[in-house]
């Protein structure tokens, strides 16, 4: 009988059941190509890409990888209806910072910041027919999901609770990513916004494994081969690792973000909605300390981004990450300044140790 890890690798078409977490804003096709080229599953995050950028990134993946599999990732939130009163309250909450940097609140352009999966995106994707497609914040509407399934794509999606895992399995996910509370970046929740319902990985993973028929992929705080082995020992069919890739040569992580990840500051992360309007885990910096880390004034995802953008730009121009989203999970100890293929080789040693 095949073990669950070799059956997940067979499902994904990879040598190892290791998924490089898609990470919008800090990586593109280059990291995905390096990871897929080394036998794991590289991912292209599309939440911050225009359809033109997506097409050119997908062409780069296809040209570099040929038949080797890769994953293409989308957010699937409901696009929000802008609310002028809430927007004004948000700018009011940020007024002391905006004044400090000489930014006129009235001159800040409104903008979406992150795009949900759409008909246009599905059309571009159909030109490339990727083997694996993953979603964050639930699944897209049934007609859009059916388009992806039409070419036989394997569909992955993140669950932050047992209820979400059961929902994803019932609505067409071929494997479920158990996203523990320690994970970096945005929480993938979609059934409840109550963060107190979300367990850490070692509480969530065995419960999902017990309840689901589909394979469960462990994510959150996995930083090295021992972490991989521990997740596999708890019944995971594979692992998805995010934060550990952030210092790799092929990531586009900014120098300020890299410096924070390498410093002691990386030991203190928090969930914050200040950067986008949705809870995401990042290193605590001045904005989180002085305005959050959570704020009731932040507009709905992803509208909070617009008013933060000029603050971030001005601070970064002065060499400061005080207003930058320094996304990181609770365990940044696996971040290494190496080619991604080397990190793949280090992490997959954990598969040999499980059980
Ligand atoms: C910088 C960063 C950006 C992220 N962006 C995305 C994204 O675009 N799509 C997604 O599905 N998950 C995203 N995530 C979450 C990951 O899928 C995953 O849950 C997380 O990285 C696992 O925890 P770890 O960071 O502790 O390894 C992001 C995580 C990080 C650290």
Pocket test of ligand 1: the residue of 74, 115, 183, 221 to mutate, having most ligand atoms within 8 Å of its CB, is: 183
As given in the structure block, the two tokens for residue 234 are 């708890």
- Ligand 1 atom nearest to CA at 328: 31
CB atoms under 10 Å from CB of 315, counted, come to 21
> How many angstroms is it from 186 CA to the middle of ligand 1?
7
Q: Which of 112-116, 170-174, 335-339 is predicted least confidently?
A: 112-116
Reported as a single tens digit per residue, the pLDDT across 161-201 is 999 999 999 999 999 999 999 999 999 999 999 999 999 99
User: Within 13 Å and on the Cβ side, how many CA atoms surround 140?
Assistant: 23
pLDDT digits (tens, 9 = 90+) for 51-101: 999 999 999 999 999 999 999 999 999 888 888 899 999 999 999 999 999
Closest residue by Cα to residue 156 from 136, 170, 129 = 136
What is the H or E stretch that residue 144 is in? Answer: helix 142-150
Can you list the domains of the chain with their CATH numbers?
1-77+114-249+335-355 (3.20.20.70), 80-113+263-333 (no CATH)
Q: Is 327 in the pocket of ligand 1 (CB under 6 A)?
A: yes
Strand pairing of 269-272 and 280-283?
A: antiparallel
Q: How high does pLDDT run on average in the chain?
A: 95
Kindly give the distance from the C-alpha atom of residue 77 to the centroid of ligand 1, in angstroms, as a whole number: 16
Q: How far is the CA of 271 from the centre of ligand 1 (A)?
A: 13
Contact 38 CB / ligand 1 (< 6 Å): no
**Atom 5 of ligand 1, nearest CA residue:** 23
Helices (H), the chain: 4-12, 29-37, 51-65, 84-93, 95-100, 119-128, 142-150, 162-170, 201-211, 225-233, 255-262, 286-291, 305-317, 340-348
98 C-alpha vs ligand 1 centroid, how far in Å? Answer: 29
What is the model's pLDDT at position 108? 85
Question: Which DSSP state fits 318?
Answer: T
Is the Cβ atom of 350 under 6 angstroms away from ligand 1? no
Whether residue 1 has pLDDT greater than 50: no
Asked if residue 325 has its Cβ within 6 Å of ligand 1, the reply is: no
Q: What is the pLDDT of residues 202-257, one digit of tens each?
A: 999 999 999 999 999 999 999 999 999 999 999 999 999 999 999 999 999 999 99
Asked if 285 contacts 324 with a C-beta cutoff of 8 angstroms, the reply is yes
Report the pLDDT value the prediction gives residue 3, as an integer from 0 to 100.
Answer: 67
Say yes or no: CB of residue 241 within 6 Å of ligand 1.
Answer: yes
Does ligand 1 have an atom closer than 6 angstroms to the CB of 45?
A: yes
Per the CB < 8 A criterion, the answer to whether 156 and 175 are in contact is yes
pLDDT tens readout for residues 127-168: 999 999 999 999 999 999 999 999 999 999 999 999 999 999
Can you tell me the mean pLDDT for 286-290? 98
pLDDT digits 0-9 by tens, 12-53: 999 999 999 999 999 999 999 999 999 999 999 999 999 999
Burial class of residue 178 (count of CB atoms within 10 Å of its CB; 0-12, 13-18, 19+): buried
Ligand 1 centroid from CA 84, angstroms? 31
73 lines ligand 1 (CB under 6 A): yes
Choice from 44, 184, 266, 350 to test ligand 1 binding pocket (greatest atom count within 8 A of CB): 184
């Amino acid at each position: 009988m095949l073990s669950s890890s070799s059956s997940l690798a067979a499902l994904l078409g990879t040598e190892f059941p290791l998924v490089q977490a898609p990470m919008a804003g800090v990586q593109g096709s280059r990291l995905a190509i390096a990871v897929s080229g080394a036998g794991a599953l590289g991912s292209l995050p599309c939440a911050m890409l225009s359809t033109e950028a997506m097409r050119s990134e997908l062409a780069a993946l296809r040209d570099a990888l040929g038949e080797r599999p890769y994953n293409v990732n989308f957010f699937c939130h409901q696009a929000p209806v802008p609310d002028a009163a809430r927007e004004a309250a948000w700018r009011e909450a940020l007024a002391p910072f905006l004044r400090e940097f000489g930014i006129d609140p009235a001159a800040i352009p409104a903008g979406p910041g992150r795009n949900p999966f759409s008909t246009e995106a599905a059309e571009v994707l159909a030109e490339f027919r990727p083997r694996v497609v993953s979603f964050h914040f639930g699944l897209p509407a049934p007609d859009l999901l059916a388009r992806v399934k039409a070419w036989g794509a394997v569909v992955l999606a993140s669950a932050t609770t047992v209820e979400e895992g059961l929902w994803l399995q019932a609505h067409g996910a071929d494997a479920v990513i158990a996203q523990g509370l320690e994970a970096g970046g945005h929480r993938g929740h979609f059934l409840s916004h109550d963060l107190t319902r979300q367990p850490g990985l070692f509480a969530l993973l065995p419960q999902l494994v017990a309840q689901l028929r589909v394979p469960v992929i462990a994510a959150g705080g996995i930083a090295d081969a021992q972490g991989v082995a521990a997740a596999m020992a708890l019944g995971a069919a594979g692992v998805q690792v995010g934060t550990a890739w952030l210092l790799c040569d092929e990531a586009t992580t900014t120098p300020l973000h890299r410096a924070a990840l390498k410093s002691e500051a990386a030991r203190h992360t928090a969930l914050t909605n200040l950067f986008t309007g949705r809870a995401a885990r990042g290193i605590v910096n001045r904005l989180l300390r002085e305005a959050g880390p959570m704020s009731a004034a932040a507009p709905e995802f992803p509208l909070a981004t617009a008013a933060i953008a000029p603050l971030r730009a001005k601070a970064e121009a002065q060499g400061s990450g005080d207003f930058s989203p320094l996304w990181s999970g609770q365990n940044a100890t696996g971040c290494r300044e190496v080619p991604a293929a080397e990190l793949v080789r280090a992490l997959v040693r954990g598969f040999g140790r499980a059980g």
